[in-house]
Amino acid sequence: MKKKLFALLSISVLFFTTSCTSDDDSSEGPIGGIHPSGSYWPLALGNYWDFEPVNPADDDVDLEVQATETHNNQTYYSFDAASNNIGVGLLVRELNDVFIMYQRPMMQQGVTTSGGEIDFINLTNQPNVVWTDVLTMQITGAFNGNLNFNHEGKILPNETTMVVRGRTYQNVVKHQTTQTIFNSLSNVTQVVTSIYWLAKGIGPIKQEFVIDGETTVYELESYGLY
161-176 pLDDT, tens digit per residue, is 999 999 999 999 999 9
pTM, entire model: 0.83
pLDDT at 5: 38
179-197 pLDDT, tens digit per residue, is 999 999 889 998 999 999 9
pLDDT at 36: 87
Q: What is the 3-state secondary structure (H, E, C) of the chain?
A: CCCCCCCCCCCCCCCCCCEECCCCCHHHCHHHCCCCCCCCCCCCCCCEEEEEECCCCCCCEEEECCEEEEECCEEEEECCCCCCCCCCCEEEEEECCEEEEEECCEEECCEEECCEEEEEEECCCCCCCCEEEEEEEEEEECCCEEEEEEEEEEEECCCCCEEECCEEECCEEEEEEEEEEEECCCCEEEEEEEEEEEECCCEEEEEEEEECCEEEEEEEEEEECC
Share of the chain above pLDDT 70, in %: 81
Most confident region among 8-17, 52-61, 64-73 by mean pLDDT: 64-73
User: Band of the pLDDT at 109, cuts 50, 70, 90?
Assistant: confident
